[in-house]
């Protein structure tokens, strides 16, 4: 009996069998989260805590499924991003690398003495309406041409030609030839190029047609009596350009972007343009208080004086012009 007791005391204590971890079936998978190892170690969670953990796992699984379409659309947007950048690069390439399709020439004289020829390359693909208008006025197919017409303004960054008149003999000749001296289509083309091409458009050496006057005030409203009733009518203040005046930029001229449509560039004879740009002109007197007062009260003499500002003292004329191709 004592021996049995000694055996029982000397024998090691019998431990309960360790539970073998049960592996889930192959078709079942559980979400891996940091809470699972803690759950395995403690195994002392109440039903409330188990339900909270289960709900949070379901929310996590639902969130990953809900974000799936968003991530897919984001990935598709990233795939389409290079295409949009490629289109923008192509538009910028068309704006910077313009290729002339026609060549025109202008023979210039100062006070009756020839000073040289200017050769202009016209952008028939980038500005088809503007290039067609300029080529028709250079060749004379519009019934009128730039021949024997003067340069009316010389500015530090550009020189401006007066174009043809919208009244008198020029208007009659254009009407006989069926030409339209309005700048409607030119304005639409200017708006497209202005939106598509960022940065300065009128760079040094470019030739542009003036299509609008950005300083022109909006129409003035007035009451008019028609058939015994008062109606509101709009009165235009000033006149819009007729789409025949053009400018040649001697330097980069961003101030022209709001009013001029680029139709070509100088290929030969830039020294002739620079020579015209160095002529003496009538001083600009717009800062005079007398001139400002005359403009405020609507004195027509102020408008006449303003047209002479920056006008060359010498007579700069296009003696001959035409197309070369």
Nearest to 39 by CA among 50, 27, 51, 28: 50
Q: Could you read off the pLDDT tens digit of each residue along the chain, which spans 325 residues? A: 444 444 344 445 444 555 554 444 444 444 444 444 444 444 455 555 545 555 555 555 555 555 455 454 555 545 554 554 544 554 454 677 889 999 999 999 999 999 999 999 999 999 999 999 999 999 998 889 999 999 999 999 999 999 998 777 877 887 787 777 776 789 899 999 988 888 899 999 999 999 988 766 666 777 788 888 888 877 666 677 888 999 999 999 999 999 999 999 999 999 999 999 999 999 988 888 888 888 888 788 888 888 889 999 999 999 999 999 7
- Alpha-carbon distance 121 to 101, whole Å? 7
Phi, psi of 110 (to 5 degrees): -120, 115
Predicted pLDDT of residue 95:
78
Specify which residues 158 forms β-bridges with: 249
Q: Which residues contact 319 (CB under 8 A, 6 or more apart)?
A: 107, 108, 109, 114, 147, 148
Q: What is the DSSP string of 163-210?
A: ---SSHHHHHHHHHHT-----HHHHHHHHHHHHHS-S-SS-TTEEEEE
DSSP 156: S
- Alpha-carbon distance 237 to 110, whole Å? 35
Please identify which residue in the block is written with the tokens 């006449």. 304
Torsion, Cα 246 251 256 261, to 10 degrees, reads 50
- Burial (Cβ within 10 Å: 0-12, 13-18, ≥19) of residue 294: middle
Phi, psi of 208 (to 5 degrees): -135, 150
The long-range contacts involving 188-197, CB below 8 angstroms and separated by at least 24 positions, are 188/129, 189/127, 189/128, 189/129, 189/130, 189/261, 190/130, 190/260, 190/261, 193/95, 193/126, 193/127, 193/261, 193/262, 194/257, 196/91, 196/94, 196/95, 197/91, 197/92, 197/95
- Alpha-carbon distance 273 to 52, whole Å? 84
The long-range contacts involving 280-287, CB below 8 angstroms and separated by at least 24 positions, are 280/312, 280/313, 280/314, 281/153, 281/154, 281/310, 281/311, 281/312, 281/313, 282/308, 282/309, 282/310, 282/311, 282/313, 283/309, 284/309, 284/310, 285/309
Please identify which residue in the block is written with the tokens 């003292």. 313
Predicted pLDDT of residue 208:
96
């Amino acid at each position: 009996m004592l021996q049995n007791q000694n055996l029982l005391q000397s024998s090691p204590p019998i431990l309960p069998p360790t539970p073998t971890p049960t592996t889930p079936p192959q078709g079942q998978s559980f979400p891996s989260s940091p809470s699972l190892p803690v759950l395995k170690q403690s195994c002392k969670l109440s039903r409330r805590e188990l339900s909270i953990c289960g709900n949070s796992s379901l929310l996590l699984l639902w969130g990953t499924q809900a974000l799936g379409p968003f991530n897919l659309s984001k990935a598709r947007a990233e795939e389409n991003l290079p295409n949009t950048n490629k289109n923008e690069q192509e538009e910028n390439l068309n704006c910077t690398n313009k290729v002339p399709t026609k060549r025109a020439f202008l023979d210039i004289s100062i006070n009756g003495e020839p000073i040289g020829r200017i050769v202009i390359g016209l952008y028939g693909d980038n500005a088809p309406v503007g290039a067609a208008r300029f080529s028709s006025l250079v060749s004379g197919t519009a019934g009128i041409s730039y021949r024997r017409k003067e340069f009316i303004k010389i500015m530090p960054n550009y020189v401006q030609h007066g174009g043809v008149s919208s009244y008198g003999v020029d208007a009659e000749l254009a009407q006989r030839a069926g030409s339209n001296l309005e700048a409607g289509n030119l304005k639409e083309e200017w708006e497209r190029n202005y939106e598509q091409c960022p940065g300065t458009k009128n760079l040094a050496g470019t030739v542009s047609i003036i299509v609008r006057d950005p300083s022109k005030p909006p129409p003035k409203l007035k009451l008019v009596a028609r058939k015994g009733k008062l109606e509101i009518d709009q009165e235009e203040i000033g006149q819009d350009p007729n789409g025949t005046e053009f400018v040649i930029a001697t330097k980069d001229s961003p101030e022209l972007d709001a009013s001029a449509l680029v139709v070509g560039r100088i290929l030969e004879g830039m020294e002739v343009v620079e020579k015209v740009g160095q002529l003496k002109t009538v001083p600009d007197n717009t800062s005079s208080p007398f001139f400002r007062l005359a403009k405020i009260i609507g004195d027509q003499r102020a408008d006449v004086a303003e047209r002479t500002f920056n006008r060359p003292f010498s007579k700069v004329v296009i003696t001959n012009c035409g197309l070369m191709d």
